[in-house]
Amino acid sequence: MTIHLPDATGALRVYEPRTEPLALTPGAPFTSRTVFSAAHVVADPYADVSPDSPAAVDWDATLAFRRHLWSHGLGVAEAMDTAQRGMGLDWAGAAELIRRSAAEAKAVGGRIACGVGTDQISAGTLEEVRAAYEEQLAVVEESGAQAILMASRALAAAAQGPEDYLEVYGHLLRQAAEPVILHWLGPMFDPALEGYWGSADLDAATRTFLEVIAAHPDKVDGIKVSLLDAEREIDIRRRLPEGVRCYTGDDFNYPELIAGDDQGFSHALLGIFDPLGPLAAQAVRVLDTGDVTGFRALLDPTVGLSRHLFQAPTRFYKTGVVFLAWLAGHQSHFTMVGGLQSARSLPHFARAYELADGLGLFPDPKLAEERMKTLLSLYGVTR
């Protein structure tokens, strides 16, 4: 069986899908790394909504996908960028997602950490930004989940310099009930976050970021760095106080960062581990045995797919993630909140399908092929 896929020039090429998936089954809990998958939300395809309407979520399918991740030993990073926070999912929807997912995690014994931001306001004073963070922190803590303090568009707009970040984050860390994860999301993921930590100079921003952590090491479980810069992450990782973890958010360089070096390693909190979940879990179990070569042999081949999904404009990677979830049979449709399924081109989808199929990621390759052909036909490809 073959399928005709369009390339970047619009020409069709013949691709022969694989017939068997990788054999990926749940296994023992991880022992060497803490690993979170930032999970996507499944839209309700029957809801009568427009792109600027509040999100209509298919809760059954959304929670089922989280159970899939937990079954393979992965933690779930909830209500994060991958769940379209600020790109289709508003705070009301995120709050419900947090409550539902946290309850599900408790029921099945899954690990969960949830995003705390300020997206219930579009702008405001520093006091209003701090209050917005406090409201969301209370929701996450009441749910029983760990908190991830996300970068805030409103804080980026309101802050006049590094001292404002030190004040706001210091206040939040002092009142946090349990150690949190700090999240530094770069402007390639969200242009509104340019100059976060008070400077567009990354060296200066890094100094402020580390100053926040050094002042409250007992309240920081770890940091998630999403700058797509492996050298900078390694530098930050080596400068962290003892006991503070680095969770890589680098979807371009994650195998080498998780494997680490003679001076340390990164744990993981990654959007790419949404489509890679079972394969990533198997790779980490190999790493648990001390077999770095075997870990890299499993995970290195996935980087091509990740770099494709996260190519500029990087913030639209969510479209590829949901597309692959549909092909893999985790949801019955390719519809996204906010209409974001339109954010990538047909050649982009075709290459994503080819790369994922080549890795053996689809539990049912025939189903994935049929769904890819359905999409192609909607775009007018008839052979």
Which tens digit of pLDDT belongs to each residue from 217-235?
Answer: 999 999 998 999 999 999 9
Whole-model pTM: value is: 0.95
The number of helix segments (H) and strand segments (E) in the chain equals 14, 10
Residue 383 has pLDDT above 80, yes or no: no
User: Among candidates 58, 121, 72, 125, which has minimal Cα distance to 92?
Assistant: 121
Which one-letter DSSP state was computed for residue 75?
Answer: E
* pLDDT for residue 224: 95
SS3 content of the chain, % helix, strand, coil (to 5): 50, 15, 35
* pLDDT for residue 363: 96
Q: Are strands 75-78 and 220-226 parallel, antiparallel or unpaired?
A: unpaired
Mean pLDDT over each residue of the chain, to the nearest integer: 96
* pLDDT for residue 28: 86
* pLDDT for residue 23: 86
Q: Please check whether residue 349 is in contact with residue 373, taking contact to mean a CB–CB distance below 8 angstroms.
A: no
66-101, pLDDT tens digit by residue?
999 999 999 999 999 999 998 999 999 999 999 999
The model's confidence at residue 326, banded by pLDDT at 50, 70 and 90, is very high
Residue 27 has pLDDT above 90, yes or no: no
Which one-letter DSSP state was computed for residue 182?
Answer: E
139-156, pLDDT tens digit by residue?
999 999 999 999 999 999
Residue 371 has pLDDT above 90, yes or no: yes
* pLDDT for residue 153: 96
* pLDDT for residue 339: 95
SS3 304: helix
User: Taking phi first (over 0 means left), then psi (-120 to 50 degrees means alpha), and beta for anything else, what does residue 35 get?
Assistant: beta
Pick the more confident residue, 42 or 23: 42
Q: Between the CA atoms of 124, 215, 134 and 126, what dihedral angle is there, to the nearest 10 degrees?
A: -10
Q: 1: Cβ–Cβ under 8 A, 6 or more apart, which residues?
A: 16, 17, 369
Q: Please check whether residue 208 is in contact with residue 198, taking contact to mean a CB–CB distance below 8 angstroms.
A: yes
177: its two tokens: 């009930």
- Between CA 374 and CA 137 the distance in angstroms is 43
* pLDDT for residue 10: 85
Residue 308 has pLDDT above 80, yes or no: yes
161: its two tokens: 């310099």
The model's confidence at residue 26, banded by pLDDT at 50, 70 and 90, is confident
* pLDDT for residue 208: 97
- Between CA 295 and CA 256 the distance in angstroms is 10
* pLDDT for residue 367: 97
How much is the average pLDDT of 353-361? 97
How much is the average pLDDT of 50-56? 91
> Burial, 239: exposed, middle or buried (Cβ in 10 Å; 0-12, 13-18, 19+)?
middle
* pLDDT for residue 382: 81
Residue 283 has pLDDT above 80, yes or no: yes
* pLDDT for residue 89: 97
Compute how many other C-beta atoms are within 10 angstroms of the C-beta atom of residue 61.
Answer: 18
* pLDDT for residue 333: 98
